[in-house]
Chains A and B, each alone.
Chain A
Amino acid sequence: MYYDSNTGLNKMKRYYFDQPTTDKFVEFLMTQAEVIAPQKKGDASYSYEVVTSGKDIVYDYPRTIQPLKKYFLPPRETLLSFDSKNNEFKKTDIALNNRIFFAIHSYEMQGIKRLDYSFTQGNPEFNYLQRRENSIFIGISFNPDKWHFTKSVGISIEEVERFSLYFEPVDNGFLVFEVDDTGKELISKFGNGLSLDASMDFEVREKEFKTKIKYHYNRLPQVFEHVYNSKVWSDIAQKCVGCGTCNLLCPTCYCFDVRDEVELEISKGKRERFWDGCMLNEFAEVAGGENFREKLSSRTRHRLHRKFKYITDHSGELHCVGCGRCTKYCPANISIVEIINNLIEEYSDHQKEQII
């Protein structure tokens, strides 16, 4: 667990970028590496895409459909190609471009941090780790909408861990905070000859979250010790249709499946992997057709235990970052915060009974 980091920003060196300076800065970043930033997608959505023009960047986006994960663990990827006639196989080369991820929210960065944990346990996940190299992250503040609940899982808006720079919107521009040495280097390269007024005072204004978990995040693993047999799981299963959207959009879900597909001449082929999810029918199916999590109630229970207990027991961190995607995009309108609050209620009722 970590602590509210509001104080962190006040100690950092800062610069003022008005909008034209910010645009120039983006142009500068594009000379340094491939820049990936939030852009408009469809009618009313956003996604992280490679920047071809700075004008496309949306600075005040609520959240993207897919988290940044897709750049490190692509939805589909070819792991290797094989030739069974000659008994040969070849791993796919992973291009190692420098990448700058720009205008990233704190919970997103924390999602990547949790994936880093998950993929370095046991056998390190080579492809993921290779893609993680040479990545620079530049953070930005956000205004919580009715789905964000990052604070309830211990992640403040201004959490700058693993960012190199951090952008805070102010009048007609941004305050840019120098978080680490990479950020400092970027600023000094960019600022050569430019006057970047660094004198502005800054105070973190507390932003109100509309969605809250009733207990402090420190107590959640304790709650999950006691709710395995809760009736909340079957209540949720009445509404859930098992589409898997919550898994497929979660920044910390990392499960995948692997399939081989041969070409028509049969001997050559490819091994492909693609995202999987524990809410899906075949996820827990084993040889012989037995499915040890056939019911939707046990699948939701498993999913939430993966976020608040199972991995947390090992990593010491909640593996939910409060982005709100599973709730915002759930076609059946199931809210993860509501599930947790119902569990808390049941747990606290149970505790009271115990005392009496």
Chain B
Amino acid sequence: MSKPKVAFFDFTSCEGCQLNKLNLENDLLSILELVDIVEFREAMDDKADEYDIAFIEGSISTPTCVERIHDIRRRTKILVALGACAVNGGINAMKNLYPADWVKEEVYGEDKYLFPSIPVQPVSALVKVDYEIRGCPMSTPEFLHVLKSLVLGRKPESFDYAVCVECKLKENECVLDKGMFCLGPISRAGCDAICPSNGQYCTGCRGLVSNINENGAVDMLKQHGFSEKEALNRMRLYCANDIEN
């Protein structure tokens, strides 16, 4: 059996998720035993026509993005959204909260006509996404889990429960109880609660858990001394497209 052909593509993003993969130094050679990397702009020049697995980094924010993502979807068997931007728009989606003209003016000034731009959308808004790897940046163990699962032909497992779960598994003292802000109760786990475990609070970089009780979440944060505005703004940092209010 020949090795699966794997490609990596970047859209609107910082490309940090791709770099994160190159940081897998010790495992890179083992990964190459499993798959053929046929396209990876950040690491090589080669290009290919067809892929078994395409990893997509970044959000869709220009007309060109729309064309490219459809083209990639046509040429790949499996498509995986990689990182917060690709999965739900990520930080980029914050621009959707402001009038488009104002945003263009602010960023490009008088050259704004040279840069056509559309509201930021996750990859799944345009094409079918088979699997997701969340986080800003994506977590490497999760990337490897998905890669290994796909090579084995099985469905990768994901996480759809709160960061609180991982904090409790580690018996962390609650960050909210310490008077800090935290989105752990409503944000997706899978990061092993890395921020709350290291003196930080959860910013929700992996997106919200599904079935979110948005009003309840705002009330919860209010009870801990944060205003509704602050609560919603912080929830919008990574989830601008997902917050209804």
Chain A residues within CB distance 8 Å of chain B: 41-45, 47, 65-66, 70, 75-76, 237-245, 248-249, 259, 261-262, 264-266, 274-275, 277, 280-282, 294-296, 329, 331-333
Contacts and interface: CB of A to CB of B under 8 A. Distances in A.
A43 B219 CA distance: 25
Interface residues of B, number: 41
Contacts of A333: 220, 223
Report which residue of B33, B148, B160, B164 has the largest number of chain A beta carbons within 10 angstroms of its beta carbon. B164
Interface in B170-223: 170-174, 176-178, 184-186, 209-213, 215-217, 219-220, 223
A265 B27 CA distance: 10
Contacts of B245: none
Given A281-B211, A332-B185, A241 B216 contact: yes
B168 A249 contact: yes
Chain A binding surface, main DSSP class: loop
Report which residue of A41, A241, A282, A329 has the largest number of chain B beta carbons within 10 angstroms of its beta carbon. A241
Contacts of B210: 281
B224 interface: yes
B185 A243 contact: yes
A101 B164 CA distance: 27
Given A65-B171, A244-B162, A332-B216, A266 B151 contact: yes
Nearest to A262: B148
A332 B220 contact: yes
6 contacts: A42-B172, A42-B173, A238-B216, A243-B162, A266-B151, A282-B161
B161 A280 contact: yes
Contact of A264 (B27, B177, B178, B224): B27
Contact of B168 (A66, A259, A282, A332): A66
A277 B165 contact: yes
Contacts of A45: 173
Given A47-B171, A65-B171, A75-B169, A242 B211 contact: yes
B30 interface: yes
B144 interface: yes
Report which residue of B31, B171, B177, B216 has the largest number of chain A beta carbons within 10 angstroms of its beta carbon. B171
A145 B148 CA distance: 50
Interface of B: 27, 30-31, 33-34, 144-145, 148, 151-152, 157, 160-162, 164-165, 168-174, 176-178, 184-186, 209-213, 215-217, 219-220, 223-224
A241 to B, nearest CB: 5
A42 B178 CA distance: 10
Report which residue of B144, B186, B209, B215 has the largest number of chain A beta carbons within 10 angstroms of its beta carbon. B209
Contacts of B162: 241-244, 280
B151 A241 contact: no
B213 A65 contact: no
A41 B223 CA distance: 24
A281 B161 contact: yes
Given A41-B173, A242-B213, A264-B31, 10 more contacts: A44-B173, A65-B173, A239-B219, A241-B185, A242-B162, A245-B164, A248-B168, A265-B30, A274-B169, A329-B177
Contacts of B209: 242, 281
A304 to B, nearest CB: 18
Given A264-B27, A266-B148, A248 B173 contact: no
Given A241-B185, A241-B216, A244-B165, A261 B145 contact: yes
